Amino acid sequence: MEKRTVNKVRVLDQPPKRALAYVLVAGAVLVASNESVAQETDAPDDVVRAFHEALAKGDSTTALSLLAEDVVIYEAGGVETSREEYRSHHLAADIAFARSTEREVSLERSGRGGDLAWVLSRSTTTGTFREQEIHSTGTETMLLELTSDGWRIRHIHWSNRRAPPSED
């Protein structure tokens, strides 16, 4: 094998078969990295918005597909520790509530560290649900993980209270 220097970079002249092998390996690495980029087409905040839109449309299939199997959901002092538990306990009520009310996000912040991301929001919800007027403010924390299927919601923490009376 012959060594030579080109523009202060040492170049090894490789036999053609070995060079072809390097090109094939490099190509496979590029294809693999492009596949993981393709699986990350939605940003974490887009996934959170899609989850809320699915609830508002009554689309339980989409809403559940965005949750990790072992999602943990905190709401009003209660906890659900899996997608199946959420499906069988509160999903129907959350869909009914989302379809009967309007949620306006006033603040949203998000961040990411590796395969984990967080989306924090503050919102106001208005409408009528089960014959009661709703006017509440809420905070939401969602933690997401990048999986082979894209971003999935691993944890939700919802907290709501009556909105203070408006000053007219």
Distance (Å, whole) CA 29 – CA 32? 5
**Domains located in the chain, CATH noted:** 2-38 (no CATH), 44-162 (3.10.450.50)
pLDDT tens across 27-83, in order? 444 444 434 433 445 899 999 999 999 999 999 999 999 999 999 999 989 999 999
With 0.95 as the threshold, say if the pTM is over it: no
Q: Could you count the other beta carbons within 10 Å of the beta carbon of residue 133? A: 8
